Chains A and B, each alone.
Chain A
């Protein structure tokens, strides 16, 4: 009975001109979105490669220079495109791709993609995640809104019942008949993306396992939408009512809920303004050691401590240049200040995300969106991870430069310059994004919420099984 129903439903679907047309449009949109996304991916990777090489050349070829001048001269590190950003660009466009690394200051990422776009970017763009998150659920509604209502309206339901149709078997048949074409379309899109990613040059290795997990997330998202669609179709009398109700569900789930959730999260746990944040950091920095100022109380205290530690009575007798040492200690203090305040910011962000996920009870879109961006490596967690890696590299680079000053010069020595080849000894910045296991662990709650949506909607859909 299930097989017969699947077969019958699929025949009806493929013979229905509206469904055929809608499916073709969605497929075309998918292919176009993949094409646009691939171009962007390639362009970004080219820019990344050029910028990375050019910036390193600039650094390596500074010539003879004082290491602290080089520290202020600074360098840029760049974020490479994650392979799965081909499918979900997440917040990549807004977060910036380049971080300037210099002494004393932790910089924010700059040069976001949207900053380079015209006002038209405000209208959004066609991307695979748009199709996956918004359009396919709409297609599910279009395919399934009258699955049951049409049987009642046409009068075929009574004939089905008289033939001894078992309701849950008919339900499974209809369910599978919607799921199969949707799954097929999605799998085609993912396979195309996988093949492209396997052949395209990227800077972060592409993993089929991540693509597979992302596919599972989306398929599960569609399972939930199919459940909701069939539940509504089963429980209302008219196809028109079913369609309106389901469009309402789609609008609330995919359009209203995400905006309301982010507004709510931001109002509950607001970020400080940039001015407040920078002022707080400036005050905290002033409370500690300034590596440039040998006359401050903090510098004097450090001097006393070091002399005592090395049991000498003059800075000249230390086995290193105290100026370089002080510069490093100042840097460490500033890095600690940044760490503390960025951690607070991160905590606030995590609270926002938690609040955002809590509102997932009103929409399966929210956990799916978060999981998709997480697995694609384009969410804020990924950006934080990159920014933290850049900051760690900055701290290590400053130590590298300060140590040269401390251990290759003598206290009081002026006009020291490192030789022209010295800069090449600074290791390159090699960022490794978090692995799939870490991402899954980070998004456990989203996974649980999505599973709960799946279980609850399935239970609602099949609850009449016991009755019959």
Chain B
């Protein structure tokens, strides 16, 4: 569903992403771990078509994103690190607009149901989102993804800044989407959450994918140690 083949992005002499190859199948959650500047967000931006690759290909549902920028968007939902909504519109209105942009015409009841599925309290449905917390906005983002019935979900550090409860709720929502056969690629710093929800985990550094694991085959302490070693934080490794 989500595939990259030798995907490379250079800015002059600087290589932001170096020959990344990975695949996320339907019903899988792939977590990309790495420090800032590792190339995680670049990967997501290339998969969204926001950036053009220097070489290699990014495929969504078998279609090259670079040459099918608009049509591949039909299959993707995206939740950025700090998902922002229109503050003067209510949650329902935001969902209605963004799903409308994605080509969906949904009745009010469906919009409410989607927000409910995404975990938003019903008393917040008709409140302006200007006063929403980040967790509440992320839930609207999930509702947008649900409305789109996206086959692929790209998340760029969605849990950063969320309190543990909100982060936990968010993880559960992703598990739900996984069970609906959505292919999920998530860039994150959160090793604990990655281990909890991912089917596959990759560790990136300086634009390269250095390590890949099947989540069930690695324990959290080993993952943490491997991560720290990979990042050259040897003094912190056990």
A contacts, CB < 8 Å to B: 1, 4-5, 7-8, 11-12, 15-16, 154-156, 158-166, 468
Q: Could you tell me if A163 and B148 are in contact, using CB atoms closer than 8 angstroms?
A: yes
Q: Shortest CB–CB separation between residue A149 and chain B, in angstroms?
A: 14
A154/B84 contact (C-beta < 8 A), A8-B97, A161-B50, A166-B70 known? yes
B39-83 vs A: 1/0 string, CB under 8 Å? Answer: 000000000111000000000000000000110011011101011
Bound Cα distance from A162 to B50, whole angstroms: 9
Q: Which residues of B contact A (CB under 8 A)?
A: 48-50, 69-70, 73-74, 76-78, 80, 82-89, 93, 96-103, 128, 141, 144, 148, 154
Q: Output the nearest chain A residue to B88 by Cβ-Cβ distance.
A: A15
B101: chain A residues at CB < 8 Å are 1, 4-5, 160, 163-165
The answer, among A5, A12, A155, A166, for a CB contact under 8 Å with B80, is: A155
Question: Which residues on the B side are within 8 Å of A158 (C-beta)?
Answer: 48, 50, 78, 80
CB-defined contacts of B97 to chain A, threshold 8 Å: 4-5, 7-8
Chain B interface, DSSP helix/strand/loop, else mixed: mixed
Q: What B residues does A164 contact at CB under 8 A?
A: 70, 73-74, 101-103
- Given A8-B93, A11-B93, A158-B80, answer yes or no on A163-B98 (Cβ-Cβ < 8 Å): yes
Give chain A residues whose Cβ lies under 8 Å from the Cβ of B77. Answer: 162
Q: In the complex, which residues of chain B have a beta carbon less than 8 angstroms from the beta carbon of A15?
A: 88-89, 128
A residues less than 8 Å from B78 (CB atoms): 158-159, 162
A463 to B77, CA, bound (A): 28
Q: B48, B69, B74, B97: which has the most chain A beta carbons within 10 Å? A: B97
Does B84 contact A155, Cβ atoms closer than 8 Å?
yes
Q: How far is the CA of A154 from the CA of B48 in the complex (A)?
A: 19
B contact residues around A4 at 8 Å (CB): 96-97, 100-101
Show 25 A/B contacts (Cβ-Cβ < 8 Å), sorted by A: A1-B100, A1-B101, A8-B89, A15-B88, A15-B128, A154-B86, A155-B83, A156-B84, A156-B86, A158-B80, A159-B144, A160-B98, A160-B101, A161-B48, A161-B49, A162-B48, A162-B73, A162-B77, A162-B154, A163-B73, A163-B99, A163-B102, A164-B102, A164-B103, A468-B69
Min C-beta distance of B52 to chain A, whole Å = 12
Q: Which residues of B contact A5 (CB under 8 A)?
A: 97, 101
Query: Chain A at the B interface: mostly helix, strand, loop or mixed?
Result: helix
Give the Cβ gap from A1 to chain B, nearest Cβ, in Å: 6
Closest chain A residue, CB of each to CB of B87: A154
**Residues on B with beta carbons closer than 8 Å to the beta carbon of A468:** 69-70
Q: Which residues of B contact A11 (CB under 8 A)?
A: 88-89, 93
Interchain nearest-CB distance for B152 vs A (Å): 11
- Complex-state Cα separation, A155 to B138, whole angstroms: 13
Task: Enumerate chain B residues within 8 angstroms of A8, measured Cβ to Cβ.
Answer: 86, 89, 93, 97
A1 to B76, CA, bound (A): 17
Q: With both chains docked as a complex, state the minimum distance between the C-beta of B200 and any C-beta of chain A, in angstroms.
A: 22
Chain A residues within 8 Å of B154, by CB: 162
Nearest 8 interchain pairs by C-beta: A164-B73, A162-B78, A4-B100, A155-B84, A15-B88, A163-B101, A163-B102, A154-B84
Bound CA span A7–B85, Å? 16
Which residues of the partner chain B approach A12 to less than 8 Å between Cβ atoms? 86, 88-89
The residue in B82, B87, B141, B154 that gathers the most chain A C-beta atoms within 10 A of its C-beta is: B87
- The complex places the Cα of A12 from the Cα of B90 at a distance, in Å, of 11
Interface centre among A1, A4, A8, A16 (most CB of B within 10 A): A8
**Nearest CB in chain A: distance from B28 CB, A:** 20
CB-defined contacts of A155 to chain B, threshold 8 Å: 80, 82-84
7 further interface pairs, Cβ-Cβ under 8 Å (given A155-B80, A158-B48, A159-B98): A4-B101, A12-B89, A159-B83, A161-B49, A162-B48, A164-B73, A468-B69
Residues of B within 8 A of A16 (CB): 88
Q: Measured between alpha carbons, how far is A164 from B103 in the docked complex, in Å?
A: 9
Q: How far is B170's CA from A209's CA once the two chains are assembled, in angstroms?
A: 62
List, in ascending order, chain A residues with CB within 8 A of B100's CB. Answer: 1, 4
B148 CB, min distance to chain A CBs, angstroms: 7
- Min C-beta distance of B74 to chain A, whole Å: 6
Complex alpha-carbon distance, A348 and B104, angstroms: 64
Complex Cα gap A223–B77 (Å): 35
A15-B97 Cα distance, complex, nearest whole Å: 16
What residue of chain B has the Cβ atom nearest to residue A150's Cβ? B86
CA distance A15 to B128 in the complex (A): 10
Q: Please name all residues of chain B whose beta carbon is closer than 8 Å to the beta carbon of A154 when the two chains form the complex.
A: 84, 86-87
With A and B bound together, what is the CA distance between A441 and B80 in angstroms?
58
Q: Report the nearest A residue to B77, measured CB to CB.
A: A162
Residues on A with C-beta less than 8 A from B82 are: 155
List residues of chain A with CB within 8 A of the CB of B88. 11-12, 15-16
Contact B80 A159 (CB under 8 A): yes
> Which chain B positions have C-beta within 8 A of A161?
48-50, 73
- CB-CB nearest in chain A for B96: A4
Min Cβ gap B9→A in Å is 17
Chain B residues, CB < 8 A from A156:
84-86
Q: Nearest residue in A to B71 (C-beta to C-beta)?
A: A164
In the complex, chain A residues whose CB is within 8 Å of the CB of B144? 159, 163
State the CA gap A163–B88 with chains docked (Å). Answer: 20
- Tell me the nearest residue of chain A to B105, going by C-beta: A4
Distance, CA A154 to CA B87, complexed state (A):
9
Rounded to whole Å, the gap between the CB of A181 and the closest CB of chain B is 16
Determine how close the nearest CB of chain B comes to the CB of A10; give it in whole angstroms. 11
A8 vs B129: C-alpha distance in the bound complex, in angstroms? 14
Q: Complex: how many Å from CA A166 to CA B69? A: 10
> What's the Cα separation between A104 and B187 when bound, in Å?
94
Task: Note all chain A residues with C-beta closer than 8 A to B86.
Answer: 8, 12, 154, 156
Point out the residues of chain A lying under 8 angstroms from B49, CB to CB.
Answer: 161
User: Taking the nearest CB of chain A, how far is it from the CB of B106, in angstroms?
Assistant: 11
Query: Which A residues are CB-close (under 8 A) to B69?
Result: 468
